[in-house]
Chain A
Amino acid sequence: MTTMLSVNELKFMYRNKDVLREIGFSIEQGTVVAVLGPNGVGKTTLLKCLNRILKPRKGSVLLDEENLLELGTMDIARRVGYVPQRVETGRLTAFDAVLLGRRPHIGWDVTSRDLAIVDAIFTKLGMEPLRLSYIDEMSGGELQKVAIARALVQEPKVLLLDEPTSNLDLKNQVEILNTIREIVRDHNIAAIMTMHDLNQALRFADRFIFIKDGTVHIHGACDIVTPPVIEEVYGLPVMIGELGGVRCVVPASCNGT
């Protein structure tokens, strides 16, 4: 596997306060990366710095040798798709909502190629019946799929997802994460997602980045996810066991001490 994205010495300040300092990591094509860490540690901030929704003070984000932080916003949007935690609805069909993802590629008006790409993604995600449903009548799971489909029709090389499963039930969580993993493998792109659920991360991610005190505490494959690392990052002792061949993280005691 080849390195496709490398983040070097990324620093972000909010009102003279360091939020991120010296962030550095690299990721390979075809991998799903989970960004982990406690609330307020700057996971979402990191994600937003990668496609310059927030402007880092210094550092670089190299995607295939190009520094994203020096590109124009439309150029970034043609390379990086972003799925925020909160998606607004409106009186739009799912097809129109996904078509919006072609925005970075559209000149004056949509072409038949744009429409065909949108049509294909609905087939790919098994969402054909939803094409002409209004998104303000959709469930949380359906809406999340629409948001992911919208980011995918941007034809990105990297997909950034901010807690893609935070408002979903268990079945939808598994479905969405499976979909993300499939797409990443099929198209040989990379996905970086912030997550809270360590168990879901262990099941669906290939690489793990733990953030603590504004820097990368540790990153690597699933072997770095150990009770000592989790305790250092979250301040909570945990046990890791196997259940039916699947690794599970549970708190060591109920009162958290």
Chain B
Amino acid sequence: MHTEHGTVPADYLEYTRRKGLWIAGALFLVVLLFILAISVGAVSIPPADVVQTLFGAGTSAKWDRIIWNIRLPQALAAIVAGTGLAVAGVAMQSILRNPLASPYTLGISSAGAFGAAVSIIVLGAGKIQSTMANPVTITNPYLTTIIAFFFCMLATAVILLISHLRGASPEVMILTGVALSALFSAGVMFLQYFSSDTQLAAVVFWTFGDVGRSTWETLPFMAVVVAGATLYFLLNRWNYNAIDAGDETAQGLGVSVARVRLAGMTVAALVSAVIVALLGVIGFVGLVCPHMMRRIVGDDQRYLIPGTAVAGAVLLLASDTVARVIVAPYILPVAVLTAFMGAPVFIYLLFRGYKR
């Protein structure tokens, strides 16, 4: 009815095209970082040979082994986990209407850590070895992963149940998450108090998230879950935009806010649980990446979700690469670095304000 004089405005199209270019640029950066990540390490491999090897035309059997068995799964895990944590974060910030929401706000990481502690201390799944390369071995990684995942999902179920009973308000979800987080942290402390030195070390080791833990067996599973979650959030981008405009506006636009909120939280919690269970606790990516992208493409979820997904891959891949070389020959778990890098970047972005 209003279309009589409407045209598609060129300046708006230009504005959205610019956002698209930023995301494409970040995607290109992922490719460059991917090659760099595989190239550097204890044995340095020239980027050209990395590309050749990846395309199946490797010139050295040794490099082949290093790339295919060690560095490629690790780099891919960084991309997948970074993307997963970041999209879970951006979705939760919108659904919970809280800029501090991230996969860790809801106590999912604490639940995972508690699960790992249970498996190591109570069920005896871990012990220590004193080799430089691998100071601690978890003797039964499957058991630890499964128990950690079980507790992550238990925490998720409790949050969703309480939210469902109390009308799925964002405040209830966040406060339940904070309470659960405290409860599971207390549980970890309790178990640690009664553990041996070796068990204690194994628990602490597990808690440091490390993408190097991924293998060709676990990677496809993680990739499918992350891809599915990212697609799900993208499909809901208009619903999240509507919720960002206020619950009542969203309802006026036909969005079933409570349902979108519960379903979105379930997916965000699931993807976080899978990553925490497989790789350990990696902080800050889910919190910082959405805010980095907000400064560049704004709050429109149509660009924010894909942008954040790419930013997550960039941040975790870059962090992991630095973590592997910064104190060589020691290899730091990436979680130590994400917090170190994330915090100053975050504060810098806050001061710098929005990109116009």
Give the interface of A toward B (CB within 8 A): 48, 51, 53, 72-78, 80-84, 86-88, 90-93, 95-97, 100-101, 103-104, 106, 112-113, 115-121, 123-124, 131-132, 134, 147, 150-155, 160, 187
Contact A100 B252, CB 8 Å, known A95-B9, A112-B8: no
User: How far is the CB of B167 from the nearest CB of chain A, in Å?
Assistant: 12
Whether B12 contacts A95 by the Cβ 8 Å rule is yes
Provide the residues of chain A in CB contact with B5, threshold 8 Å. 120, 123
Whether B299 contacts A103 by the Cβ 8 Å rule is no
Whether B249 contacts A88 by the Cβ 8 Å rule is yes
B256: interface (CB < 8 Å):
yes
Whether A119 contacts B255 by the Cβ 8 Å rule is no
Q: Mark B4-15, 1 if CB is under 8 A from A, else 0.
A: 111111011001
Whether B249 contacts A155 by the Cβ 8 Å rule is no
B248: interface (CB < 8 Å):
yes
User: How far is the CB of B151 from the nearest CB of chain A, in Å?
Assistant: 35
Whether A82 contacts B251 by the Cβ 8 Å rule is yes
Whether B252 contacts A131 by the Cβ 8 Å rule is no
Whether B254 contacts A91 by the Cβ 8 Å rule is no
Task: Name 29 interchain pairs, CB-CB below 8 A, sorted by A.
Answer: A51-B252, A73-B251, A77-B254, A78-B254, A82-B248, A82-B249, A82-B251, A84-B248, A86-B246, A87-B249, A88-B97, A88-B249, A93-B15, A95-B9, A100-B245, A100-B253, A103-B255, A106-B238, A115-B6, A116-B8, A117-B6, A118-B6, A119-B12, A120-B2, A120-B3, A120-B5, A124-B2, A151-B252, A155-B2
Cα-based distance from A175 to B67 in the complex (angstroms): 67
Whether A132 contacts B15 by the Cβ 8 Å rule is yes
Tell me the count of chain B residues lying within 8 A, CB to CB, of chain A: 32
Whether B253 contacts A104 by the Cβ 8 Å rule is yes
Closest 7 CB pairs of A and B: A82-B252, A77-B254, A120-B6, A116-B6, A84-B248, A90-B299, A74-B254
Contact A88 B242, CB 8 Å, known A73-B256, A154-B253: no
Of A74, A84, A123, A132, the contact of B246 (CB 8 Å cutoff): A84
Whether B244 contacts A88 by the Cβ 8 Å rule is yes
Tell me whether chain A's interface is mostly helix, strand or loop, or mixed.
helix
Cα-based distance from A153 to B4 in the complex (angstroms): 13
Q: Looking across the interface, which residue of chain A has its beta carbon closest to that of B11? A: A132
Whether A115 contacts B8 by the Cβ 8 Å rule is yes
B171: interface (CB < 8 Å):
no
User: Which residues 1-35 in B have Cβ within 8 Å of A in the complex?
Assistant: 1-9, 11-12, 15
Provide the residues of chain A in CB contact with B354, threshold 8 Å. 91, 134
Q: Looking across the interface, which residue of chain B has its beta carbon closest to that of A106? A: B238
User: How far is the CB of A237 from the nearest CB of chain B, in Å?
Assistant: 35
Contact A100 B1, CB 8 Å, known A116-B8, A119-B6, A123-B6: no
Whether B253 contacts A53 by the Cβ 8 Å rule is no
Contact A88 B251, CB 8 Å, known A117-B6, A120-B5, A131-B9: no
B298: interface (CB < 8 Å):
yes
User: How far is the CB of A54 from the nearest CB of chain B, in Å?
Assistant: 9
Of B3, B9, B244, the contact of A90 (CB 8 Å cutoff): B244
Residue among A53, A75, A80, A153 having the largest count of chain B Cβ atoms under 10 Å: A53
Provide the residues of chain B in CB contact with A106, threshold 8 Å. 238
Contact A152 B2, CB 8 Å, known A96-B300, A116-B8: yes
Provide the residues of chain A in CB contact with B248, threshold 8 Å. 48, 53, 82, 84, 86
Q: Mark B281-304, 1 if CB is under 8 A from A, else 0.
A: 000000000000010001110000
Of A77, A97, A117, A187, the contact of B3 (CB 8 Å cutoff): A117
Cα-based distance from A10 to B3 in the complex (angstroms): 36
User: How far is the CB of A160 from the nearest CB of chain B, in Å?
Assistant: 8
Cα-based distance from A77 to B246 in the complex (angstroms): 15
Of B4, B11, B12, B253, the contact of A120 (CB 8 Å cutoff): B4
Cα-based distance from A174 to B159 in the complex (angstroms): 47
Whether B300 contacts A92 by the Cβ 8 Å rule is yes
Provide the residues of chain B in CB contact with A96, threshold 8 Å. 298, 300
Whether B9 contacts A91 by the Cβ 8 Å rule is no
